[in-house]
Structure 1
Amino acid sequence: MINKSVYRNEPLAHYAPGSAERISIQKKITELKSTEMIIPMIINGKEVFTDTQLRIAPPHEHAHTLGYFCEGKSIHVSEAISAALHAKHNWASKSLKERAAIFLKAADLISTTYRSEINAATMLGQSKNVYQAEIDSACELIDFFRLNVKFAHEIEAIQPHSPEGVHNQMVYRPLEGFVFALTPFNFTAIAGNLPSAPALMGNTVVWKPAYTQIYSARIIMKVLMEAGLPNGVINLIYTDGPTTGDIIFQHRYFAGLHFTGSTAVFKHISKTIYQNIDLYQNFPRIVGETGGKDFVLAHADCDIQALSVALVRGAFEYQGQKCSAASRAYIPKSIWPEVEQRIVAMLQEIKTGSVEDFSNFVNAVIDEKAFDKITSYIDAAKADSDATILAGGSYNKSIGYFIDPTIIVTKNPSYKTMKEEIFGPVLTIYIYEDKEWNQVLQLVDTTTSYALTGSIFAKSAAVIEEVKKALYYSAGNFYINDKPTGAVVDQQPFGGARLSGTNDKAGSILNLLRWVSPQVIKENFTPPHDYRYDFMK
């Protein structure tokens, strides 16, 4: 019997003025900023320092140096693979209860001892405000560690029928080989889940985080080691993509990829794996969550204030750098004047700036490359007759990579910012004639090849059912009268299809099933002693 009190979602701290958690994290931010650290790789449980040390700076204050990470070379990739394969037998031979205890302890450590540190590191290294960091690097990561244990126990409980005289058993073996976890910058929790979910199921892992997330990745690894993770089970390396891929994807014992990142990178990796298929001991598992062009569809009969708040929160929380961020919206002409008035008024109140000022709703985008890409879309819209900048449109990278929340209104439903993933604080709105409802349903479904998240705002149950049917394959996570962001582990398992990934639903039992290779064992208590069957008599 699973103890439900252990496997619950982590309560959210709110960081109100004067609260203990607010005082604690402000102190931790000051402490981290006062120290320049050298961050080593962790291979086989050992710190690995190199001569190539790359600088880490807050995206919102790029003149400040947080520290340096030790970039590795091809030899470190090979060493990480060797460590993972060497640790595999002992780790896989442990019971689920033994493995689970480590991740449950890690969850408790983050919930208590390391909560301020991992949140502060996420705030500084990835420019997340305190509330977004709390949701991500504390609560969601804790949820992944705790609730994946619950899912793993549920998997072990799935056993075949055993008739009289026979005992049938399903053994959930780890994959044969090592798993490669390639993790993104935007969620510390995802960076922690991608290596840990396969590890919980008995796999050993080579973990390569995004360079822009290393500052908080180091804390995840520190917590796991303190919780008792054996050496070599998860090996943390900081190596560039081509160097890493050239070795991992040509290794005979490459068994699986756990990926979150861009669609283009995932396509390239998938092609490489399939081209190398004859090299491998088994068919590798490929699990990936990629991009999105997430929509908000409004019906004329909707709660206008709820819609307006969802547009602002859904598009601009964490600077639109969530895979699920609202990026395109379809608003009926009859309610547009009121929606316009409300969202513009909200954006006039929103402040953009450093995470250290808790009154800022919007902070910096992750780096200069992202800044330049996002602002190129804004500049193009300013010069295009098909687009109008309704709000925002300003940006500055002299201190940090700041882009004001920007709303583009377009007359062209196929305008490029309605189709292409921008991954920044840019929302494009198409205003449709109310009578064009059926055509708009088709537009939502066919304008992009992504299918990650989306939402409908409507009061009518009949309209909602119509939309659910019309947009059946348009979103892996579909929201009714809510923003298309904010999935919670075990409540809204996350993932999409089409160009948005393999839809293996992180935060559910479905994802963990991808990291096992089941074996059925039949024991016959009364084996036959005569080859002849009755029909032969």
Structure 2
Amino acid sequence: MTGNFRVPRPHNEPERSFAPGSPEADSVRAQIKHIESQVRDLPHVVDGARSFGGQTMNVVAPHKHAQVLGRIPMADASVTKSAIDASLRAHHDWARTPWWERAAIFLRAAELACGSYRDELVATTMLGQSKTFHQSEIDAACEVADFFRFNVFLAQEIYADQPSSLQGNFNLLDQRPLEGFVLAVTPFNFTAIGANLPSTPALMGNTVVWKPSEKAALSSDVVMRLLEEAGLPPGVINLVHGSGKDVAATAVAQPEFAGLNFTGSTQVFRALWKTVADNLDSYRSFPRLVGETGGKNAVVVHPSGNYDAIKTALIRSSFEYQGQKCSAASRAYVPRSMWNRLRDDMVETVRTLKVGDVASHETFVGAVIDEAALRRMENAFQRASDLDSHRLLVGGSVHPEEGWFVEPTIFETTDPHAFTLAEEFFGPLLTVFVYEDESWDEVLPLVDEASPYALTLSVFASDRQAIAQALDVLRNASGMTYVNDKPTGALMGQVSFGGGRASGTNDKTGSRLSLQRWLSGRFVKETLSPATDWTYPYLDRSF
């Protein structure tokens, strides 16, 4: 088959409203009931074959932690090695599959994600990751489909880039995948990240070992089945459950290790980077290391900011999905003239946020992912309460009896260098530093210096000079800066996600930068009329 093929121009998948009694709400509720009625075995998938054996781990609903939803096997070194071997066997043929054939598989996967698999993706994300109807829909249905469609379109643009040729030459750019296999390690908090991190290298011709979070095993199983139905050949993406530390240790020790696509903690990513460095002499090539590692995201308010917009942004970005988004707002800098009113309104609103079962339409805040997360938040609340510089305004308690529930919590601090303004807690905790209105110039450097992270940032102001000043002073404080909007909710095709400093390698998920990382270019120059005389005119001595 030949031709200058073109893929459809992508558009963001519309989200459903899930109003009480709506067809989509009833359909997802039916899926939830079906999933809750059984305990699913969620196997490894290696070279297209499913295996389940050895030590197992239960998968539970965080908001009903006594409810077992599934079981996963824990991979040992032999299982991981078999997945690596399967990836290497599949590499030759997959790397030589025309890009448009690979693209067709992921375009088909997008249709399945927002079609026959949509409700199952949403329901498993709600149950396994404790997301509300809305949060699951925008993640597990819309963003999964968006990643597949937009990545295909971006891949087309990359492959279309070819060098120019002088007359007498024919120059080509061969966009090869990496030599070896790619390890994708994905987190619990976004089904879309679980789908995107292994599929982006695969789209570009690489073969992958995928280690999803055990807390997202339910939705990861759906993603794997979806990809297989879309036509993904066996061995291209191999899913192994278990300890990320153990799987990664086996993978990065292999000479064929070619790259890591990672979302998780800064500490784990740094440890993996050091291990890769220790093994550098054994690799066939320098591995590509791509990581997104969290944030400590600020909302910076100028006295000219719109009050209602600020309040809405703080409530949504701090407490939606229990603050378990890498981009969640966890620190705010508010002028004194606005604070008394905003404080009282925020406290009143937060007290009305229902914490509970995500299948209830009244619920705004579900459970944090596990007991370790709950205890981490409990410890942070205690540490802050013990400081004279901190004042608890609302929340501050945990309720672990039925689910891993943490109250949405706000502290006010007088210390611009407080640990609550610096450390990432990955939970529903917002700390506010109040500054004097005339100290705008002084507060911006404090925002920049307070935390080692640099992922997202919001600036609220109507004063254009203040906006320009903030964008300048805070230029390196985030990979994504939002003006008069919350720091969460990056949308494919509009905002490419990623940050610097301790937040990662800033390779911009959902952009050409991200896809290009999984390619290794080869230039081919063909001379159509090669020289046949080694001499040059300046050597002619007949004059």
What TM-score, normalized by structure 2, do the two folds share?
A: 0.97
1:463 aligns with 2:466: yes
8 Å CA contact retained: 2:497, 2:510 = yes
* Cα deviation, residue 71, structure 1: 1.5
8 Å CA contact retained: 1:364, 1:403 = yes
8 Å CA contact retained: 2:292, 2:504 = yes
For residues 25-424 of structure 1, the aligned pairs below 5 Å read 25-424=28-427
- Distance (Å, rounded) in 1 between the aligned partners of 2:66 and 2:530: 76
* Cα deviation, residue 6, structure 1: 4.7
* Cα deviation, residue 17, structure 1: 2.2
8 Å CA contact retained: 2:264, 2:294 = yes
- Distance (Å, rounded) in 2 between the aligned partners of 1:361 and 1:479: 23
Question: What is the SS of the residue equivalent to 1:57?
Answer: strand
* Cα deviation, residue 468, structure 1: 0.3
Question: What is the SS of the residue equivalent to 1:390?
Answer: strand
Per-residue deviation, residues 112-131 of structure 1 (Å, max 9, x unmatched): 10000011000000000010
Question: What is the SS of the residue equivalent to 2:65?
Answer: coil
Bigger mean CA offset, 400-409 vs 49-58: 49-58
* Cα deviation, residue 242, structure 1: 3.3
- Distance (Å, rounded) in 2 between the aligned partners of 1:60 and 1:195: 28
8 Å CA contact retained: 1:2, 1:150 = no
Residue of 508, 533, 536 corresponding to 1:533: 536
Distance 1:251 1:326, change over 3 A: same
Bigger mean CA offset, 163-172 vs 472-481: 163-172
* Cα deviation, residue 110, structure 1: 0.9
May I ask how many residue pairs the two structures share in their alignment? 537
Bigger mean CA offset, 339-348 vs 455-464: 339-348
- Distance (Å, rounded) in 2 between the aligned partners of 1:521 and 1:5: 29
8 Å CA contact retained: 1:493, 1:505 = yes
Corresponding residue number in structure 1 for 2:495:
492
8 Å CA contact retained: 2:182, 2:258 = yes
* Cα deviation, residue 383, structure 1: 2.2
8 Å CA contact retained: 1:60, 1:401 = yes
Question: What is the SS of the residue equivalent to 1:190?
Answer: helix
For residues 441-456 of structure 1, the aligned pairs below 5 Å read 441-456=444-459
- Distance (Å, rounded) in 2 between the aligned partners of 1:535 and 1:398: 90
Q: Which amino acid letter does the alignment assign opposite residue 343 of structure 2?
A: E
Q: Which amino acid letter does the alignment assign opposite residue 84 of structure 1?
A: S
- Distance (Å, rounded) in 2 between the aligned partners of 1:242 and 1:492: 31
1:7 aligns with 2:10: yes
* Cα deviation, residue 7, structure 1: 1.4
- Distance (Å, rounded) in 2 between the aligned partners of 1:278 and 1:529: 42
8 Å CA contact retained: 1:123, 1:130 = yes
Question: What is the SS of the residue equivalent to 2:333?
Answer: strand
1:507 aligns with 2:502: no
Q: Give the gaps of 5 or more residues in structure 1.
A: none
Per-residue deviation, residues 447-505 of structure 1 (Å, max 9, x unmatched): 11110000100001111011000101000010000010000112100000001000000
8 Å CA contact retained: 1:194, 1:259 = yes
Per-residue deviation, residues 28-64 of structure 1 (Å, max 9, x unmatched): 0111101111111000000011132211110000111
Residue of 415, 429, 434 corresponding to 2:432: 429
* Cα deviation, residue 213, structure 1: 0.9
* Cα deviation, residue 5, structure 1: 5.4
Q: Which amino acid letter does the alignment assign opposite residue 376 of structure 1?
A: N
Q: Which runs of structure 1 show a deviation greater than 4 angstroms over 4 or more consecutive aligned residues?
A: 1-6
Q: Which amino acid letter does the alignment assign opposite residue 216 of structure 1?
A: S
Q: Which amino acid letter does the alignment assign opposite residue 476 of structure 2?
A: Y
Question: What is the SS of the residue equivalent to 1:55?
Answer: strand
Q: Give the gaps of 5 or more residues in structure 2.
A: none
Question: What is the SS of the residue equivalent to 1:472?
Answer: coil
8 Å CA contact retained: 1:305, 1:342 = no
Distance 1:268 1:334, change over 3 A: same
Bigger mean CA offset, 429-438 vs 81-90: 429-438
Q: Which amino acid letter does the alignment assign opposite residue 520 of structure 1?
A: F
Q: Which amino acid letter does the alignment assign opposite residue 436 of structure 2?
A: E
Task: Work out the percentage of aligned pairs sharing the same amino acid.
Answer: 46
8 Å CA contact retained: 2:6, 2:156 = no
What TM-score, normalized by structure 1, do the two folds share?
A: 0.99
Question: What is the SS of the residue equivalent to 2:137?
Answer: helix
Distance 1:4 1:49, change over 3 A: closer
